[in-house]
Amino acid sequence: MLGCLLFQRRSLELLPDSFWLMNNYYTLIYLSKHIYDKLKSSRFQFSLSPHRNVWTGYFQQTGQNEPMRLIFSTQPGEIALFTDRYRPPKKQNVQSFFQSLKEKEVQDVHLAEGDRLLTIELSNDLHLLFQLFGNRANLFLVEQNLIVDAFKNPEKVKGKPAPTPRKPKPGKAPPEDASAKKWMLHNENKLPRPLIQPLIDQYSLEHAAPDEIGRFTDEVRNELLSAGKFRVLADGTICPLSEYRLKADTLKTFDSVNDAIRHAYHLRSARRRFGNKLKKWKPSLERIRDKTRRTLTQLEDAEKALERAEMYEKYGHLLMTKAHETPRPDETRVEMNDLYEEDTQITIEIDPLLSFAENAQSYYDKSAGAKKRIDEAKKRKAESEHTLEIVENLLTSLDQANSLSDLEKWEKKHSSRLEKLGITRTHREEGPSVPFLRRSANGFEIWIGKNAKSNDRLTSAAHKEDIWMHARGTSGSHVVVRMNNRQDYPPRNVLIKAASWAAWYSKQRGAGLVPVIVTKKKYVSKPKGAPPGLVRVQREEVEMVKPKKPEHDS
């Protein structure tokens, strides 16, 4: 158990933020063969996006009980492509893609020469083209070398030529005194970049002759092309080189490149989710800790008020000895013998408009107020010391969480304490527990408000790229078409169907045609102090639609 825990902690800490899983052309050589072996003769069933920046395709072979999943992550820092066993798809908050590929058969899988473009060829001359690099990672549906749809930003690329392999730049040999890295890349520009410097360091190549570096590069290339094992290194790199060739801290070794990629992807994804979740708690706890420490410092000063309280009380007693006298009209202070200290004179400020007894009472009141503040300060100090102890214990235990599982156990164990600190509600999982209707149309989820408050919550929960609708010039439900962060609009039939539902859930339900506002959620805002359901729309288009009741109500 301890070994497993240390392994997980190390892997989470060492994967760099800039890491790209598919940074290795030789890895893709083996991956393309694996995908072909797994998907050949299978038929495309459907595809969807279960999470932001993740596409999942389902392919099934004849006689196979369950489909095979092909998972593609375009998440920056987590670009990955791999097959996985079947898992039932999510039923909510998902978007479908490439419905035209239904039952199309996989005929071939190939990798572009010298570039990270992997293509799955299907029947009817249709292709799924995976662009596996940088911030431009994307998946295109290609027909006759033109993009007909895409996973990300389809409206920007539809109709454009499909990406083609980058042509290698003819490079002349570097100068004799160039670095070993430049000479290695000159001999083989597809070498995995993360492995080059460790190889140079291990074999002391920095000052080797160019011909020696050339022979060494050929040996490395041959081993990369005949890899039998695939290691996931401590920095997350997929390494096809043996431990003999490259001594490097290894997290795990796999017989299959697909298993190595899947493992590295889940580690990197877990690290990101762990880090995001940790950021939700730690800064809030640290703010409470620092604020409580400042409060305690202030309360330490407040305890010094005890001396003032005793002084005010003494002034009251002294002034009461003159209660039978009357202050002069211009007398703002009085000098008296200090009855509590022999041979000492004391000066007391007074209000000449008040009697000595009234001035004494004023000092008694000040003394009582100071004592009350002291009692409150003592109470607050005890409470603040208790809060500080709780927060510091929470931070200490939080630092011991090494995985998502640890963090979830920590949340459950300390939920009552977090609730008392007043920060739990700010850390609930995103995604509303929505009191509105959920419908779907051609794979797009659609939300429909039930009343004014429901409308407010629905619109507030929508993403800025979602499509927002409302019957124009009348009261009715807010309607949102979920776009899963896609910046385009849904197909026309989905748009009209959702608009017809917005018309149905309005006071114009009985009209033949109803004008419906259609806009992006980012152009909808709520004026300050506005009643529930009232919003301001900055940009709008209007669709004239027939009111239509959704297929089912709830």
pLDDT in tens, 374-401: 777 788 888 888 899 999 999 999 988 8
Q: How far is CA 31 from the centre of its chain?
A: 29
Q: What is the pLDDT of residues 136-177, one digit of tens each?
A: 899 999 999 999 999 998 988 999 999 999 887 777 888 988
Reduced 3-state DSSP string for 204-231: CCCCCCHHHHHHHHHHHHHHHCCCCCEE
Residues 257 and 238: their CA atoms lie apart, in Å, by 8
Distance from C-alpha of 401 to C-alpha of 9, rounded to nearest angstrom: 9
Task: Return the SS3 of 529.
Answer: coil
What does the block give as tokens for 477?
């439900």
Residue 87 predicted with pLDDT over 80: yes
Place of tokens 């004008």: 515
Q: Cα separation of 551 and 553, whole Å?
A: 7
Residue 423 contacts residue 285 (beta carbons within 8 Å)? yes
- Lay out the sheet containing 238-239: strands in order across: 238-239, 230-233, 250-254
Which of 449, 431, 430, 435 minimizes the C-alpha distance to 534?
Answer: 449
Sheet holding 43-51, edge to edge: 80-84, 68-73, 54-60, 43-51, 96-97
What is the residue-averaged pLDDT of the chain?
Answer: 86
pLDDT digits (tens, 9 = 90+) for 27-48: 999 999 999 999 999 999 999 9
**Residue 203: pLDDT over 60:** yes
> What is the average pLDDT across 107-115?
93
Sequential DSSP letters for 36-78: HHHHTT-EEEEEEEEETTEEEEEEE-TT-SSPEEEEEE--TT-
CB 132 within 8 A of CB 76: no
Going by the DSSP 8-state scheme, the letter that residue 124 receives in this structure is T
Q: Is the pTM of this model over 0.75?
A: no
